[in-house]
A and B are shown apart, each in its own frame.
Chain A
Amino acid sequence: QVQLVQSGAEVKKPGASVKVSCKASGYTFTSYDINWVRQATGQGLEWMGWMNPNSGNTGYAQKFQGRVTMTRNTSISTAYMELSSLRSEDTAMYYCARGANWNLDYYFDYWGQGTLVTVSS
């Protein structure tokens, strides 16, 4: 079965960077995009960007341009999201989600369990 397993919770100081991993199993890793979506406590979902694991191509939401980097290691079917220059407003649960295409539709059909990133001095 398809699974996305994320790395554990992180606590970072303002100005630091964080790198979250997402290990895929149960399907061909290079066949589907990996997206990153975050959710502040009690708030809604916010899309951060996507990465094509086959080509390494990426697309980032304008809000995160210049601060986020999405990479992958195909040999271990793992995607990474690194967010730099952290501030308190980046405290949130970060999810990876598989992007699926069907009939001109694009949706997230499997999600990781989430990684809590806390930014605090």
Chain B
Amino acid sequence: QSVLTQPPSASGTPGQRVTISCSGSSSNIGSNTVNWYQQLPGTAPILLIYSNNQRPSGVPDRFSGSRSGTSASLAISGLQSEDEADYYCATWDDSLNGPVFGGGTKLTVL
């Protein structure tokens, strides 16, 4: 059981916009910034979004993040086949005194 809650799956067609939600509590998302990681099949995760909405160098601006209250979301616009991957949200949890992850969302491009 993950501390942060994500839908197990999401899907969209090429060119479409999809969003993935991440729900937490006052001790984590409610008081800390949210990061997102992308994990392509058979590879290590990579940082996709940090500090709620910042993109590391090299990440396309099709990817965007937001946070409101105790929830966050990742939006992917202009969906491409290479976006098919698992996506994880993460943040610091003040009660657990460490980082926590969501259970991950498997994105399928139809």
Contacts and interface: CB of A to CB of B under 8 A. Distances in A.
Contacts, number: 64
A37 B90 CA distance: 12
Interface residues of A, number: 27
B51 A105 contact: yes
A114 interface: yes
Contacts of B90: 45, 107-108
A59 interface: yes
A5 to B, nearest CB: 11
30 contacts: A37-B45, A44-B88, A44-B101, A44-B102, A44-B103, A45-B45, A45-B90, A47-B98, A47-B99, A59-B98, A61-B96, A61-B98, A100-B50, A102-B51, A103-B51, A104-B32, A104-B33, A105-B32, A105-B35, A105-B51, A106-B99, A107-B35, A107-B50, A107-B51, A108-B35, A108-B37, A108-B90, A108-B99, A111-B45, A114-B44
Question: 4 nearest interchain CB pairs?
Answer: A107-B35, A111-B44, A105-B33, A105-B51
A75 interface: no
A61 B46 CA distance: 22
Interface of A: 35, 37, 44-47, 49-50, 59, 61-62, 95, 97, 100, 102-114
B9 to A, nearest CB: 13
Given A61-B98, A102-B50, A111-B46, A45 B33 contact: no
Contacts of B18: none
A59 B98 CA distance: 8
A100 B47 CA distance: 11
Contact of B96 (A62, A95, A97, A114): A62
